[in-house]
A and B are shown apart, each in its own frame.
Chain A
Amino acid sequence: MKRKLPLAICFFMGISMMIQFFIPHPTSLNFGSMIYKWIIVLMAFALVLAIGNLIRHHGFKIQKGKEDWPYSIVTLTSMVAMAIIGLAWGIDPDSLYQSIYLNIMAPLGGTMFALLAYYMASAAYRAFRARSLEATLLLISAFVVMIGFMPFGQYIHPRFPAFAEWIMKVPNMASQRGILLGVAFGSIATALKIILGIERSWLGGKE
């Protein structure tokens, strides 16, 4: 029963939403919007469980004095403070909540994003070491594309920018579309396998 019930719910909901896609009748649309509302309700319940996990995990770290435990205090304090500020003074555009978010959270996110430039440099160094035929081809094509998209490229040869664009639009796009085709079939097959109960890894496997 523990396995059959989730499988039955999954099958019923999967097939229902699939049928709903083909029926434009208001009853069908209302059913679809009702299911989306249920998803929001379920997400709210899941959020309670997730926050519980966060508090338990960091509380445990503080209690046991594990490595870098002061960071856990920062995490829990920030979470509680933001919740109180948001609930007490609202989340309007000119509220304290938004002010904290825009002046602390957003710059911190921007800082992490900026680090990407340095990671790209170190990854490029690793990728462009011509240790194999594939790496050599990668190095050459990257070099051509980079030079081609620079203003300097056209001084090397007037057709350099056009050649770089051709690499991006033809061989690069063709391989991307090949991958996307496989992804599309993989997505459909995964959805069908789960709806039909063929794929049960999410339930701990077959049985």
Chain B
Amino acid sequence: MLILLIAVLYQCLPLPSCLLLSARSYRPPGEVTAIDKPNDSGSVIRLEWTLSPDDETIDGYTILRRTADDTVYTKVGSTIHGVAGFEDEKAQDGVQYQYVVAAIKNGEMVSSEPTAMVTSYPQLFHTGRINVLLCIAAFALTLLYFVFRARTGQNLFIRKIAGLAAVDEAVGRATEMGKPILYVPGLGDIDWTATIASMNILGEVAKKIALYDSALIVPNRWSVTYTVSKEVVKEAFVSEGSPEKFKEEYVRYVTEAQFGFAAAITGIMMREKPATNFFIGRFWAESLIMAETGAQTGAFQIAGTDSVLQLPFFVTACDYTLIGEELYAASAYLSREPLLLGSLKAQDYGKLVVLLILFGFTVISFFGIDLLPILRVQ
């Protein structure tokens, strides 16, 4: 009867402090600490404790709290036995709380010593992301250094990228044959960096098309990429002094369906027989369907993607393939703008530093020192 009464009280009523500290055959958890959860937007207090010595025999733990003005504790949560932590997500920022953690068995509780008063508040800086901030700052400074060096007119050597060197040939071929050029900016939406890189390349390719007076087809899977690619092509024609050559039909919206899009592209290839196909951007399983169809129509094909799984398909079916980072270097390579070429140097030095860090960390790990937590992002 007494147990039942306590159980009812525990479930229904705020518990007075006196009920919490009673002697039982099992012991409470120890060393309960309560702190404001770091790097969050507030309203969360993190509790940790050492397990009760009788952890195996109890049902679990109940977490209770009170404010500085309250005299009784109220339940805020519970855990099963074996768990030594809890996050109170219902705290009010700026309010002082005190917690106790009670071991519970058959509805009876034995509580720990109360914690010190604690207050939750939102943080203004995420300290767990300092490593990211430092890396971005270091890379941005390196990038700016090489950009300013390039601005002074210093000649920067950039290795030849066969796929990009062939762009002129690809556009010229289409002009000679009197056939259009198909440019597929990938199947990723505009929030994919590969799509953004593809838009930069599209701008450079469109300039050459404006110069050579060829026809262009740019099918798009997403409405936003459609509007962006349309503006990019239009601006390219304007910058080449031929705005009148731009036609609305050059840039098309097709469909969001992945294989519907692939079907549309293969249909365009079979009907309009483009002389040159560009597949630049983010691709998934449909990559081979498009590239193989293009190969079967005899088109000259240049592909570029950062999707590692699709690269072998493009390498197999296309004449040239931009592999990974070459996709991001393409705009600089094609435009030959010194500022953009300078940024490529920064990329190369960034990779060198990362390789040195990986090598250094690997060597240090042989001595039993794990430095990887430094690189972990929260």
Contact = CB atoms under 8 A, between A and B. Distances in A.
Q: Do the two chains bind? A: yes
B325 A24 contact: no
Contacts of B324: 179-180, 182-183, 186
Contacts of B269: none
B85 interface: no
A46 B191 CA distance: 14
Given A67-B271, A71-B267, 18 more contacts: A21-B129, A23-B126, A26-B41, A50-B220, A57-B252, A109-B258, A116-B289, A182-B351, A185-B347, A187-B194, A188-B139, A189-B143, A190-B197, A193-B343, A199-B200, A199-B331, A201-B204, A204-B232
A37 interface: no
B321 to A, nearest CB: 12
A122 B308 contact: no
Q: Which 4 A-B pairs have the closest CB atoms?
A: A186-B328, A204-B235, A182-B325, A112-B259
B238 A204 contact: yes
A24 B123 contact: yes
Interface in A2-32: 18, 21-26, 29
B139 A198 contact: no
Interface in B195-234: 196-197, 199-201, 203-204, 207, 220, 223-224, 226-228, 231-232
Contacts of B226: 46, 49-50, 53
A191 B193 CA distance: 7
B236 A57 contact: no
A145 to B, nearest CB: 12
A144 interface: no
Interface in A115-171: 115-116, 119-120, 122-124, 126-127
A67 B296 CA distance: 21
A100 interface: no
B221 to A, nearest CB: 10
B370 interface: no
14 contacts: A25-B42, A42-B224, A54-B252, A54-B253, A105-B257, A119-B288, A124-B316, A179-B325, A182-B351, A185-B139, A185-B347, A189-B143, A201-B199, A204-B232
Given A116-B288, A126-B295, A205 B239 contact: yes
Nearest to A191: B193
Given A24-B39, A189-B343, A201 B200 contact: yes
B102 interface: no
B26 interface: no
A119 to B, nearest CB: 4
A198 B343 contact: yes
B340 A199 contact: yes
Contacts of B252: 53-54, 57
Contacts of B108: none
A192 B124 CA distance: 24
A192 B204 CA distance: 19
A131 B262 CA distance: 30
A68 interface: yes
Contacts of A42: 224
B303 interface: no
A207 interface: yes
Nearest to B192: A187
Which of A124, A126, A189: most chain B Cβ within 10 A? A189
A42 B226 CA distance: 13
Nearest to A58: B252
B113 interface: no
Contact of B259 (A29, A113, A190): A113
B288 to A, nearest CB: 5
A176 interface: yes
Interface in B277-299: 285-286, 288-289, 291-293, 295-296
Contacts of B94: none
Contacts of B132: 21-22
A51 B201 CA distance: 25
Contacts of A53: 226, 248, 251-253
Nearest to B348: A185
Given A183-B306, A192-B140, A193-B343, A56 B248 contact: yes
A181 interface: yes
A194 interface: yes
Which of B235, B249, B253: most chain A Cβ within 10 A? B253
B164 interface: no
A200 to B, nearest CB: 9
Contacts of A111: 259
Interface in B142-178: 143-144, 147
Contacts of A179: 306, 308, 311, 323-325
B203 A202 contact: yes
A108 interface: yes
Interface string B343-362: 11011001100110000000
Contacts of A68: 271
A186 B260 contact: no
Interface in A45-73: 46-47, 49-51, 53-54, 56-57, 60, 67-68, 71
A201 B289 contact: no
Nearest to B314: A123
B313 interface: yes
Contacts of B207: 205
A202 B259 contact: no
B303 to A, nearest CB: 13
